[in-house]
Structure formats: structure tokens, C-alpha cells
A = this chain, B = another copy of it.
Amino acid sequence: MPAARRKSSKPNAFYAQSGGVTSVINASAAGVIEACRRSRGRIGNLYAGRDGIVGALTEDLIDTGKESAADVRALRWTPSGAFGSARYKLKDLDKDRAKYERLIEVFRAHDIRYFFYNGGNDSMDTAHKVSQIGDQMGYHVTCVGVPKTVDNDLPVTDCCPGFGSVAKYVAVSTREAGLDVASMARTSTKVFILEVMGRHAGWIAAAGGLAGRGRGEPPHIILFPEIPFDREAFLARVRDSVGKDGYCVVVASEGVQDAEGRFLADMGTRDAFGHVQLGGVAPTLAAMVKEAHGYKYHWALADYLQRAARHIASKVDVEQAYAVGKAAVELALAGRNAVMPVIVRKSSSPYRWTIGSAPIEAVANQEKKVPRHYITADGFGITAAGRRYLQPLIEGEAYPPYKHGLPRYVTLRKARVRRRLKTDFVI
């Protein structure tokens, strides 16, 4: 195959999705793919890992060159991980050296000199280590991170692609459910609790605060992991809201914990077999309210619906997700290694942003929590400063096209690249 050989005289690139997926991570993939296609003079093939880094370890690579331009374009409005993602953390170099070496071996076999890793804190740590071990093994790989996490907990970057759309979903859902409860409260449900994601940081719960602007508008209470849960204060506030407004809407982070750091979710419900049931903050709070006040309650657990809800994505978020993918390729081609494009806020009102960059080392394994001054003094709401930060991130709608009443999400061909190594690798 002389043609193929010639093609591979230019170094190839590798892209992988990592960790929990979002409704816009594929927009980042589109940014990476389209930027690589525009740089054909300098990048040969762009391969993607089937199921993330697992695809690299098992030499299960997808040839993105086989995807049509229309399908790549459709990634901008298709949620989830189109190439498959993985929860698969590589540990320290000394503990997982064989895996890192295997990665380099696969990269070498396929002449991969660029590694774009689309993930959160853990993934940035991995990308950093791959860049180190490549050099140790005499095979230089340019490693560039592509930020992604609904949790919005990466440092340095002003916000994280994936968060804005979850924030919009939670704000819209809170407004809608709030209207529902308000209209029924006189004779029916008085307390409604929406449990949202965010095990360690309350960014998603905070976004629920955008649903209302005036006093008495839902949500009446937000519960953050950053604020130790105070049962008495919570119950008193529920009673006050029902007394004043006739009802009470609560947005609770799954990571709510008491002053001793015990997760409410772990104290709460038990399943039919007596196991502690995770995702149990909402029913635990509901039971508490029922016990103390006797109010009729309802609760919802959005779970994956919130992070998959591309139908109500934030336009700003989609644009930023695409931009960081594109910027990652540009940084790599500019010779930058072990860096990650970040979103830099130039102003909040009007909202203006640009793309900068940061060393992945500064991002790896760090967590950015909701700062105290974004949370009201009583711990149950967001301040004007918090609102100023959050508001621009949910701006704009970016509807997918529909057919027969359903979004037209794309399924890629995912053509397998012929293996070149004799050895298998069992993950």
C-alpha cells in the first residue's frame, strides 16, 4: 500500500473522550476533527479511541477520516460520547507503568505524535504523564487536553464545556417545575425537591438559582456541598417558604453533606435489600420534611437526563465546546505540549470570552468549588456575584434538527483501523 505509506509520512493524531459524557463533548470532537482536516498538510490521520483510552490500550482505533463531513458536522448537536468514553483512570507512573508504555507502543505503531484528551481533572493528569513517559521512552508525543466536565470544577478555565448546558437544563426545569407546584400547592404538593449532580462542587445546584429573580420565586432553597447541611435551619426555611409563598422548591446537590462531612445520600434510603441507596438526597430531604411538617411532597432525580439533554443545550456552551476542540489542534501545531485550552472571560455584561491556554499540570487533579461569595449569607441561595458569573453560560438556544418529532442525532460509522501490534492487552 504505497499510497497509505505515503500518507502516514505525516504524523498522525489520536483523540479520546474520557469520563462522564456531556451533551456537548461531541462538539469538541467536531472541533478537533475539523481542525485536523484543515491541517492535512501537517497531520496525517486522526484516530479516535473506541471507548476512550481503552481503545488506545487495546489498539482498537477508529479512523475518523471515514466519517463524512455531514456526520462530523452533526456531532455539534449530538449528545454523549460518539466514539465511546471510559471511566478508566491510569494511576501513577510507577504503579501503572506497563499501561503507559503500552500507550506509547500503540502510538509508535501508528505513528501517532499528537494526543488530544477530552476530559476532566483525572484525564489532564493522564495526558501530562503520557507526555512525560513518551520523552523517557524516546518517542515524543505532543499532549493537549480538551476540557470537559458538567461539574465545572476545573481550575484556571473560567468555565468548563458541558456545564453551561446542564446549568440551562436545571434552571429551565426548576422554573417549569416551580410553576407546576405553585399552581397546585393550595390543595396538593407543597414541597418539591430536585436533586442534581455535583458530588464535590455545587455549580450545578447553583445554576438552579437562575430560575428565579425576585423574592419568593423558586427555588426557595439551594443546598450546596460547600455549605454544611443544617437540618433545623433547612426545615425552618421550608416552613417559612410554605407560610409566605404557599410552597417551597428545593434544588439539592447530590453532594450535600453535614458538618462532619457525611453525605446525606449515604444516610438516607435503603433499597429493598437493605443496601444504602445512592442518589438519595432528595428522598432523604423529603422524608425529613414530611416528618417535621407533614407537607405533601414530590421529588425528581434528573440523573443522566441532565447531562444528556442536548435538546435544551446552551448556545454559549456549544460554541465553547467546539472552540476548545479546535484550539487544542492549533496549540499542538504551534508546538505547545502538555497544555490545555481554557476559556477566558473578558467581561460578564455583555458577555465576552476568548480562548487562552494553561499547563495541564495546573489543571490536573485540582477541584474548583463554588466560592463562598457566590452563595448568600444564609447558605440557601446565590448572590448577585454568583448570578453574574452563571448567567452568561446559559445564554442562547442551539436546537438540534428534528425528524418525526425527535432530534436527529448522528451515529458514526466508527471504522476500525487495522491493527499493527501482535500483542493483546487486557484491560
Interfacial residues, chain A to chain B (CB-CB below 8 A)? 17, 20-21, 23, 51-52, 54, 78-88, 168, 171-173, 175-177, 179-184, 186-189, 192, 194, 210-211, 267-273, 275, 277, 279, 283-284, 286-288, 290-291, 298-305, 307-312, 314, 391, 394-397, 399, 402, 404-407, 409, 427
A175 with B406: in contact, given A180-B304, A301-B300, A303-B299 (CB under 8 Å)? yes
A86 with B187: in contact, given A79-B176, A271-B284 (CB under 8 Å)? yes
Determine if A311 and B176 form an interchain contact, defined as CB atoms under 8 angstroms apart: yes
- State which of B168, B268, B307 has its C-beta within 8 Å of the C-beta of A405: B168
A81 with B183: in contact, given A298-B304, A405-B168 (CB under 8 Å)? yes
Instruction: Write out the residue numbers on chain B whose beta carbons fall within 8 Å of the beta carbon of A314.
Output: 405
**7 pairs, CB–CB < 8 Å, chain A vs chain B:** A52-B187, A84-B184, A177-B308, A180-B304, A210-B406, A311-B312, A391-B405
**Minimum-distance CB pairs A-B, first 10:** A81-B183, A80-B179, A394-B405, A271-B287, A300-B303, A176-B308, A180-B308, A80-B183, A51-B186, A87-B188
Question: Within the assembled complex, what's the spacing in Å between the Cα atoms of A300 and B275?
Answer: 18
Question: Within the assembled complex, what's the spacing in Å between the Cα atoms of A182 and B409?
Answer: 14
Question: Within the assembled complex, what's the spacing in Å between the Cα atoms of A182 and B26?
Answer: 14
A180 with B307: in contact, given A187-B86, A268-B272, A286-B271 (CB under 8 Å)? yes
Question: Within the assembled complex, what's the spacing in Å between the Cα atoms of A254 and B134?
Answer: 53
Determine if A272 and B284 form an interchain contact, defined as CB atoms under 8 angstroms apart: yes
Distance of A275 from chain B, by nearest CB (Å): 7
Distance of A197 from chain B, by nearest CB (Å): 11
Determine if B287 and A80 form an interchain contact, defined as CB atoms under 8 angstroms apart: no
Instruction: Write out the residue numbers on chain B whose beta carbons fall within 8 Å of the beta carbon of A88.
Output: 187
Determine if B187 and A51 form an interchain contact, defined as CB atoms under 8 angstroms apart: yes
Instruction: Write out the residue numbers on chain B whose beta carbons fall within 8 Å of the beta carbon of A272.
Output: 267-269, 284, 287-288
A184 with B267: in contact, given A172-B311, A311-B176 (CB under 8 Å)? no
Instruction: Write out the residue numbers on chain B whose beta carbons fall within 8 Å of the beta carbon of A269.
Output: 269-272, 277, 283
Q: Which of A211, A288, A300, A304 has the most CB of B within 10 A?
A: A304
Instruction: Write out the residue numbers on chain B whose beta carbons fall within 8 Å of the beta carbon of A305.
Output: 173, 176-177, 194, 300, 302, 305
Instruction: Write out the residue numbers on chain B whose beta carbons fall within 8 Å of the beta carbon of A20.
Output: 184
> A310 — nearest CB in chain B belongs to which residue?
B176
> A17 — nearest CB in chain B belongs to which residue?
B183
Question: Within the assembled complex, what's the spacing in Å between the Cα atoms of A51 and B272?
Answer: 38
- State which of B79, B189, B284, B402 has its C-beta within 8 Å of the C-beta of A180: B79
> A394 — nearest CB in chain B belongs to which residue?
B405
Instruction: Write out the residue numbers on chain B whose beta carbons fall within 8 Å of the beta carbon of A407.
Output: 172, 175-176
Distance of A198 from chain B, by nearest CB (Å): 15
Instruction: Write out the residue numbers on chain B whose beta carbons fall within 8 Å of the beta carbon of A177.
Output: 303-305, 308
Instruction: Write out the residue numbers on chain B whose beta carbons fall within 8 Å of the beta carbon of A303.
Output: 177, 298-300
Determine if A277 and B287 form an interchain contact, defined as CB atoms under 8 angstroms apart: yes
Instruction: Write out the residue numbers on chain B whose beta carbons fall within 8 Å of the beta carbon of A271.
Output: 268-269, 283-284, 286-287
Determine if A309 and B173 form an interchain contact, defined as CB atoms under 8 angstroms apart: yes
Instruction: Write out the residue numbers on chain B whose beta carbons fall within 8 Å of the beta carbon of A84.
Output: 183-184, 186
A54 with B186: in contact, given A80-B180, A396-B405, A406-B175 (CB under 8 Å)? yes
Question: Within the assembled complex, what's the spacing in Å between the Cα atoms of A299 and B54?
Answer: 25
